[in-house]
Chain A
């Protein structure tokens, strides 16, 4: 969809110090394991203690990123709330499956079941902010967040002044193990800064919660503009090439979803061939997950706002463009869901 909207506020909880910090002074968090975990903030300033006591980890991360995003964007009501999540609350799903077994289907605590519902974060945001407008949750692997964006762009066209749009994902030790059985991760531990220097099967796992307030009109608070979001399901090389050319030929900077996974690296090679402009990766910061595209959008908007690229975060990149106004993000999730976003300076 090629309709412009404006990022009016954003917040990210990630394996990097994104929640409090400013990207220019942000230190690179170096990891040595293949499972990157979020740096979780203190939730107490955001969530009343009486609500906090029952909430599982991803609910806290989801709700807190959403609340901070609303606060920094200065909007009083969230408006429509649209999110994406590939897996929802894995912790609650795992807990409920186990309790069913452990207690032989009797005397079950309903909380993990309630919280395993994919739209529970949306419900909590609405509840805490009294957001009674449109509310939707997309749950489609590498298209989850991007469908939420498409939905938000339509809502803005339909007359809403702004939307709260985001994504949240967690990786649990158990789910990490399950996915290791089908080769999602590197067999041996790899440092995040070395991930892209080695071309081997699998990548590193990540997680994150990222929210945006998207507005229909630009104003003094606008951080960046999102001018296109395109989804391609299992595209041919020709389809992907055509889309990248159409949306990216005049971009100054490419943000690539490259994750060092040799099974699907050819798509990122194609990206480099079609769009040879300067390029930076982001999976060494976020890890791989269904909704990592939301982190990439946060990164693009942060860089456009800062006007420069902090070398500290990208030790593997030899040099950076000094002036950039248009960024193209290309990402795919295990070769199936491919997405292209165009982010521009306001």
Chain B
């Protein structure tokens, strides 16, 4: 899980071109949108593209997307739940 979160942070920084941000600057539970990293709705679409391209997970409903993309923690949990079906 920690490995996944670290990798995810690197991927987020690259996908969104967050030039002055380092992976350790991103708190696992900090909100990605609004305050926190200050991302917006276009970033959220780009993060859904990231999930699809890197992890093969398709998020169809933007309303569902908003819940998944709350924080690095929530994204990682979602990825893990998809990769290891209960």
In the complex, are the beta carbons of B16 and A110 less than 8 A apart?
Answer: no
B45 interfacial contact with A, CB 8 Å: yes
8 Å CB interface, A50-72 against B: 50, 53-54
A100 interfacial contact with B, CB 8 Å: no
A197 interfacial contact with B, CB 8 Å: no
Q: Mark A102-142, 1 if CB is under 8 A from B, else 0.
A: 01001111110010000000000000000000000000000
Chain A residues touching B, majority SS: loop
B49 interfacial contact with A, CB 8 Å: yes
Please give me the residue from chain B that is nearest to A49 by CB atom: B20
Residues A54 and B42 in contact in the complex (CB < 8 Å), given A49-B19, A49-B20: yes
Chain B residues with CB under 8 Å of A53's CB are 16-19
Chain B residues with CB under 8 Å of A111's CB are 42, 46
8 Å CB interface, B15-49 against A: 16-20, 38, 42, 45-46, 49
Please give me the residue from chain B that is nearest to A99 by CB atom: B49
Chain A residues with CB under 8 Å of B38's CB are 50
In the complex, are the beta carbons of A107 and B52 less than 8 A apart?
Answer: yes
In the complex, are the beta carbons of A107 and B42 less than 8 A apart?
Answer: no
A52 to chain B, nearest CB (A): 8
8 Å CB interface, A26-61 against B: 49-50, 53-54
Alpha-carbon separation in the docked complex, A110 to B17 (Å):
15
Chain B residues with CB under 8 Å of A54's CB are 16-17, 42
In the complex, are the beta carbons of B18 and A107 less than 8 A apart?
Answer: no
Please give me the residue from chain B that is nearest to A110 by CB atom: B45
Please give me the residue from chain B that is nearest to A50 by CB atom: B38
8 Å CB interface, A69-121 against B: 103, 106-111, 114
Q: Would you list 12 pairs from A and B whose C-beta atoms are within 8 A, ordered by A residue?
A: A49-B19, A49-B20, A54-B16, A54-B17, A107-B53, A107-B58, A108-B49, A109-B46, A109-B49, A110-B42, A110-B46, A111-B42
Contacts beyond the supplied A53-B18, A103-B53, A110-B45: 7 A-B pairs with Cβ under 8 Å: A50-B38, A53-B16, A54-B16, A54-B17, A106-B52, A109-B49, A111-B42
List residues of chain B with CB under 8 Å of any chain A CB: 16-20, 38, 42, 45-46, 49, 52-53, 58
